[in-house]
Amino acid sequence: MSTKFRLYQNMFQFFARALPLSGNATVNWKYQRTPSSAFAHPETTTVGALFQEASDKHPGLSGFSLVSQGEIAFIARLAMADLAEQTLDAQYFIWDADTTGRILADRLLRAANRGVRVRMLIDDIYQTKGKDFTVAALDAHPNIEVRVFNPITNRGWRTLSFLGEFGRANHRMHNKLLVMDNALSIVGGRNIADIYFGVRSDHNFRDLDVVTAGPVVNELSASFDLFWNSEWAIPVGAIVQKRPTEQDLGAQKIRLEANIAAAGYPYLIDQQLADLEARLIQIRDNFIWGPGRVVVEQPSRVHTDANPGVIYQALSKRAHEVQRELLIESPYFIPSDRSIEGARQLIARGVKVRVLTNCAASNDMMGAHAGYANTRKELLQAGIELYELQPDTNMKRRWSKLAGKSRAALHAKCLVFDRQSVFIGSFNLDPRSMALNTEIGVMIDNPEIARQVGVLMDEGVAPGSAFHVTLDKDNGLAWTAETNGEEVEYDKDPETSFWQRFMVGVVRMLPIESQM
């Protein structure tokens, strides 16, 4: 960190501490909390016994089922909430107060009313003053406990407080995880918001989750407990001035149901849930079983400096072992010099390295695209096959209910190694995931799962789905795509305006790559 930046940070800290706090909530870091842990006997629940029976037939292995469609991804989460008998543990970077967020929150409330213990752990970066009380109202339910990870201290002056606490607050919990009864879990790239489940009218993500059963669920529960009981998971009561009452919870529930009814939803939720529950045995029998393990960054990363973490090291080790092919899909792709050199060495010994990321027009983070754009020529010169998702990709109909209306973007984070093993999780190949955020994912050593993910990734780089980026004869960038069956070439970032390219160019010159 530069001397000038430290000077600015000290100035922000001074002003943040000097602000009048009257009328503004501040975090009570000493607020009392009670440790808790995952449900110890999942085999005693209905779903737990169902999957335990399958697990017993595959000793030492875990069960996996891919979820690529937004509709199925949402229904799966609702089914877990509706079928839970003992516990629900939800850990998310973003939980929006849109229709998707409201529906899932309502299902958690229903589960709590049945006696299910619900623990919700949400990162604080996208919380707002208004959302604090709304989230705290859920905590008023005797069976629901909500904690906020690494909260900004001054709730009324969030931006200034964030800058004043930058060294700590810049580290975020990027994990996405839901566990039911410690028997079934879903982990991957999706946060809880409309945009992740294909129901936005303007913008929808291509994403990937995996439903898991067996021993890997215990590892995911252990990871949740580690974060839940850490010093950085603060009870929501510690960040509001007034604790909500049961009356506030009742009013919140009425508003929740009214907003859901008024908004409507493009999926036939209840009908599909009933079908899913009726087919539970069939779903279980279609699980693919194989070795799997959880790879997770520790919550202590909040106060540690930026060194490549355990996920980066695990992926690098596995990548260096590949013999034929390494496939990468990452929405924010800003490889380090070390990573590019590692890819160059793989290619030199005959390994194919292929990357799919967002193009300038589909990327929702200008800074991330600017950091990636600085590496494109070097990536191509190293021999990497480079593709960028088209905003109007042919694949939209596969994951978006509103495919004909919305712009597409990539949000899946996965790697396939020789089509024998795969990593799926929350980890982007960018500096934030490598060195700043906490992350989680599963490494699955099963050729069939790897084959299925490989097929999805092959679809992602098809001519009607992505721009193929290459170097032209003058060593400049060129993009090739297919539109209405005809090949189209571009000599600048496709489907962008002069202003967009200008702004990306400005950001590319800023020394902020470590924050992207």
Host domain of residue 353: 305-515
- Judged against a pLDDT cut of 60, whether residue 151 lies above it is answered with yes
- Judged against a pLDDT cut of 70, whether residue 501 lies above it is answered with no
> pTM, whole model, 2 decimals?
0.91
Q: Which of 123, 132, 171, 176 is catalytic?
A: 176
Query: 350 lies in a domain?
Result: yes
Query: 25 lies in a domain?
Result: no
Residues 345 and 470 in one domain: yes
Residues 378 and 423 in one domain: yes
Q: Which of 141, 171, 174, 369 is catalytic?
A: 174
Residues 272 and 345 in one domain: no
- Judged against a pLDDT cut of 50, whether residue 155 lies above it is answered with yes
Q: Which of 194, 411, 430, 493 is catalytic?
A: 411
Residues 317 and 273 in one domain: no
Q: Is 129 labeled as catalytic in the residue annotation?
A: no
Query: 8 lies in a domain?
Result: no
Q: Which of 181, 207, 430, 493 is catalytic?
A: 181
Count of domains observed in the chain:
2
- Judged against a pLDDT cut of 90, whether residue 466 lies above it is answered with yes
Q: Is 418 labeled as catalytic in the residue annotation?
A: yes
Q: Report how far apart, in Å, the C-alpha atoms of 159 and of each of 12, 50, 93, 277 are.
A: 10, 48, 18, 45
- Give per-residue pLDDT as tens, 218-228: 999 999 999 99
- Judged against a pLDDT cut of 60, whether residue 23 lies above it is answered with no
Give the CATH number for residue 472: 3.30.870.10
Query: 336 lies in a domain?
Result: yes
Residues 391 and 493 in one domain: yes
Q: Which of 369, 396, 413, 468 is catalytic?
A: 413
- Among residues 285, 317, 338, the one where a domain terminates is 285
CB 191 within 8 A of CB 200: no
Query: 6 lies in a domain?
Result: no
Query: 11 lies in a domain?
Result: no
Q: Is 176 labeled as catalytic in the residue annotation?
A: yes
- Give per-residue pLDDT as tens, 6-22: 444 444 444 444 444 44
Residues 262 and 389 in one domain: no
Render the burial of 37-62: b for 16+ CB within 10 Å, e for the rest.
ebbeebeebebbebbbebbeebeebb
- Among residues 253, 285, 317, the one where a domain terminates is 285
d(CA 463, CA 66) in angstroms, rounded, equals 24
Residues 263 and 351 in one domain: no
Residues 127 and 224 in one domain: yes
Q: Which of 96, 98, 364, 418 is catalytic?
A: 418
- Give per-residue pLDDT as tens, 79-118: 999 999 999 999 999 999 899 999 999 999 999 999 999 9
Q: Is 141 labeled as catalytic in the residue annotation?
A: no
Residues 309 and 280 in one domain: no
Query: 24 lies in a domain?
Result: no
Query: 30 lies in a domain?
Result: no
Residues 109 and 251 in one domain: yes
Residues 95 and 171 in one domain: yes
d(CA 133, CA 85) in angstroms, rounded, equals 28
Residues 165 and 60 in one domain: yes
d(CA 70, CA 198) in angstroms, rounded, equals 5
Q: Is 58 labeled as catalytic in the residue annotation?
A: no
- Give per-residue pLDDT as tens, 376-423: 999 999 999 999 999 887 665 555 665 555 688 899 999 999 999 999
